[in-house]
Amino acid sequence: MGLRALTTPNAEGDTTIVWEAENDDAMLPIIEKKMKEGVTFFILEPRLEGRAMPAKVKVTAIDQVKDKRAVVIPDEDLAAFVSAGKGAAIPTPDTKARAVRRAKSPREVVQNESIAARPIAGG
pLDDT tens track for 63-104: 666 665 566 788 899 999 999 999 998 888 888 889 899 999
Cα three-residue angle 116-122-123, rounded to 5 degrees: 125
Predicted TM-score (pTM) of the model is 0.82
Residue 121 or residue 38, greater confidence: 38
Q: Cα dihedral angle (99, 105, 106, 107), rounded to 10 degrees?
A: -100
**CA dist., res. 108 & res. 123, Å (int):** 32
Average pLDDT, the chain: 86
Query: Does an H or E element contain 103, and which?
Result: none
Task: List the chain domain ranges.
Answer: 4-117
For residues 67 and 62, give the distance between their C-alpha atoms in angstroms, rounded to a whole number.
10
Other CB atoms within 10 A of residue 103 CB: 22
Q: What 8-state DSSP symbol labels residue 105?
A: S
Query: Which residues does 29 contact at the CB level (< 8 Å), separation at least 6?
Result: none
Angle between the 24-36 and 76-83 helix axes, to the nearest 10 degrees?
Answer: 170
